[in-house]
Structure 1
Amino acid sequence: MVEKLNQQLHTHGMISDIVLRSDHSLLEESEGQEVLITFSEAEDEKQPTATIHLFTLAEEDSCEIEVEIDYPYSLQDEEIQQLWTQAKSLIAECSLTEKRRFVEPGKQIGANVVLDYHFVVEMPRTEAEELAFTETIAKFSADLGILVKLGTE
C-alpha cells in the first residue's frame, strides 16, 4: 500500500516523512500497526500539510485510510466557507474543524483549520481488482494534491 501511494503521491506533491508505529496493548493480547505519511505540495512550513494514516485490517484483508489536512494559517470566515465548499465538491464525506487559541478573552494568538476524511480499500486479489485498486489510489492522490493547495491561491 505504501509503495502504491508513494508512486502516485509523488506526481502531486512531496512526501516528507513515512513513520511506522506499532502498538502492543497491555490489557489485551493484540498488536496494531499504523503507517503515517506526511504529504504537502512543497517543503514549506506555511503550506497545508496532509497526514495520511494507514491501518491494516487483517481480518478483512483491507486497509483504512484516514487523512488530516492542516491549514496552518489564519483564514477569515468567508475563506473557511470557500475552502469547505471546494473540499466538499471533491470529498463529500469530509469534515472541517476550526481551532482558535486564546490567551485571554478577546485576545486570539492562533488559529488553524483541519480538514479530515477516511475510507476503506479492499486489498486486490485478482487482476480486475488490482486495476480498480490502482484507479482508487490514483484518484485519492489527485484529490489530495488539490486539497493541499486549497487556500493558498
Structure 2
Amino acid sequence: MLQFMVEKLNQQLPMHGMISDIVLRSDHSLLEEAEGQEVLITFSEAEDEKQPTATIHLFTLAEEDSCEIEVEINYPSRLQDEEIQGLWTQAKSLVAECALTEKRRFVEAGKQAEVNVVLDYHFVVQMPRTEAEEMAFTETIARFSADLGMLVKLGT
C-alpha cells in the first residue's frame, strides 16, 4: 500500500509544488514482535528555507489495504498574532479538520525569540478494488494535493 500511495502522490503533488525528499522508515520494536514502516514525503511550493514546508507521513494500517495520511505544515516565518489568526481562518476554509499549534520561545520575559506555527491534519484511504473506488480514490488524492499546494502558500 505504501508503494502505491507514493506512486499516486508522486503523480499529483508536482502539479502543486515540489517534492524535495522521500524517506522510508522501518521501525522494529524491542519490546514487541512488531515492525512498522512509514514513508515521509517533504513537500513545498519552492526550495526555500523561508517557505512553509509540509511533511506527509504515510502509515499502513493493520488491515494492510488502508493507509493513514498525516500532514504537518511548518510555517517558519515570524508571524504576528493577527497573521496566525488569518492563516488559521484560511486553512480551516480549505481543510475543516485541521489543527493549528503554536510554540513560542522567549529569551527573557516579554522578549520573544521565535514563533513556530504548525498546521496538521490526517485522514485514511482504502486501497481501491473496483473502477468506481479507483475513480473516487484518484479524486481524493487530487483534491488532497491541490489543498496541500494551497496550504503551503499560506503565510508567505
Fold match by TM threshold 0.5: yes
Moved more, 83-92 or 99-108: 99-108
Give the Cα–Cα distance (whole angstroms) in 2 for the partners of residues 58 and 132 of structure 1.
22
Please name the residue that 1:119 is paired with. Answer: 123
Give the Cα–Cα distance (whole angstroms) in 1 for the partners of residues 108 and 54 of structure 2.
30
Q: Are 1:55 and 2:59 counterparts?
A: yes
Identity between Structure 1 and Structure 2 (%)? 89
Which runs of 5 or more structure 1 residues have no equivalent in the other structure? none
Tell me how many residue pairs correspond in the alignment. 152
Provide the TM-score with structure 1 as the length reference.
0.97
Provide the TM-score with structure 2 as the length reference.
0.95
Please name the residue that 2:102 is paired with. Answer: 98
Give the Cα–Cα distance (whole angstroms) in 1 for the partners of residues 124 and 91 of structure 2.
19
Residue 122 (structure 1) shift: 0.7
Q: Which amino acid aligns with 1:10?
A: P
Q: Which amino acid aligns with 1:2?
A: V
Q: Are 1:128 and 2:132 counterparts?
A: yes
Please name the residue that 1:137 is paired with. Answer: 141
Give the Cα–Cα distance (whole angstroms) in 1 for the partners of residues 46 and 64 of structure 2.
35
Aligned alpha-carbon RMSD (Å): 0.9
Residue 59 (structure 1) shift: 1.6
Q: Structure 2 residue aligned with 1:3, among 7, 13, 20?
A: 7
Give the Cα–Cα distance (whole angstroms) in 1 for the partners of residues 21 and 53 of structure 2.
11
**Runs of at least 4 residues off by over 6 Å:** none
Residue 52 (structure 1) shift: 0.2
1:30-66 deviation line (CA, Å, top 9, x unaligned): 1000000000000000000000000011425100000
Give the Cα–Cα distance (whole angstroms) in 1 for the partners of residues 96 and 35 of structure 2.
32
Which runs of 5 or more structure 2 residues have no equivalent in the other structure? none
